[in-house]
Structure 1
């Protein structure tokens, strides 16, 4: 059973690609960002460390104050690094449990926007990077999050650029047209289940 890292810059369409992989019954999907969000509200360790680092405003009525944290970390790379150092070890432990519970699958897709930045690629057997043109990505994020172009570009600055990711990946998925994207997913799935079971 293999771990397949799935990454790509913000707005590249990783979630869409993960959904295509989820259609195969012999594949388990782990969305690191979604699980991190859940853990930030449920993990006592994360909660305590976030309040210690960012103050009481980090949580409102027991729920993570996302806007407050985002405002801080996406303007300050040192603060983002601190946030990641608090959250990632707990996500990693959670993922290890997920792997144990999915031993019957052919492979696990580990979807993580900052796979390389968080050095999570080291426990992946294969890495897939999802790619889209810069304008496509900006427009997608602006539409999805009701963000400004400046806010999107600030978030992009905190991630590796596409070329750096692509050079360290086994497969690249060009995610501009959905039909083409789905075909690429099917091709990769066929290769993985044929050679890497």
Structure 2
């Protein structure tokens, strides 16, 4: 098995790259999706969030009011740290469970938005960073996601810098390009990943203690 960490700044197009990798044959473990699952109504995660932030972060039907919670934590790094301390261990446990279910020769891609910020690069065999110019990120957030420009800039500022992400990268995928060019780049990267996974699967496993 080859464990790959995939990350990139908000609006860089990481989701498109993960989609293309899945088309190639990757097993995707999406941290954002899992993070939503672990705070669904009735979960211990949601109960812990309410304990930390109050019932005002719930919607009328008892679900998590994500925009409201986001407005709190993205304006206050300490509050963001509290939220992360609740959600991250739950996400990690579920991710490990999904990883154990993958085939021995699989390329398991962990889509982790805050990989750089949380110092998670050593957990993976290699790290792929999806990179885009900050102006491109801002345009996508405003034009495609409907964010206001101040909100988009605040979300970008809350993350690692472009240079910090590139510093942890083993592979950089430029996403300031047309989709056809991006697809070709991902296919080239996939060929390398698949070859490494095959080699890894043929290595003898360490003895069990």
TM-score, normalising length: structure 2: 0.89
- Size of the aligned set, in residue pairs, is 196
Contact 1:131 1:174 in 2 (8 A): yes
Match of 1:49 in 2: 48
SS of 1:63's equivalent?
Answer: coil
CA distance change for structure 1 residues 28 and 42 in 2, over 3 Å: closer, same or farther?
farther
Per-residue CA distance 1:114-142 (angstroms, 9 max, x = gap): 01212332311110000111111111111
Partner Cα distance (2:42, 2:102) in 1: 22
CA distance change for structure 1 residues 100 and 42 in 2, over 3 Å: closer, same or farther?
farther
TM-score, normalising length: structure 1: 0.94
Indicate the RMSD between aligned Cα atoms, in angstroms. Answer: 1.4
Partner Cα distance (2:137, 2:188) in 1: 24
Are 1:187 and 2:188 counterparts? yes
Match of 1:80 in 2: 80
Gaps of 5+ in 2: 199-209
Gaps of 5+ in 1: none
Partner Cα distance (1:172, 1:38) in 2: 29
Match of 1:149 in 2: 149
List aligned pairs for 1:1-197, cutoff 5 A: 1-25=1-25, 27-42=26-41, 44-60=43-59, 61-177=61-177, 178-197=179-198
CA distance change for structure 1 residues 43 and 101 in 2, over 3 Å: closer, same or farther?
farther
Contact 2:5 2:115 in 1 (8 A): yes
- Structure 1 stretch 4-13 or stretch 140-149: which is displaced more? 140-149
Contact 2:2 2:196 in 1 (8 A): no
- Structure 1 stretch 91-100 or stretch 42-51: which is displaced more? 42-51
CA distance change for structure 1 residues 74 and 144 in 2, over 3 Å: closer, same or farther?
same
Larger Cα Rg: Structure 1 or Structure 2? 2
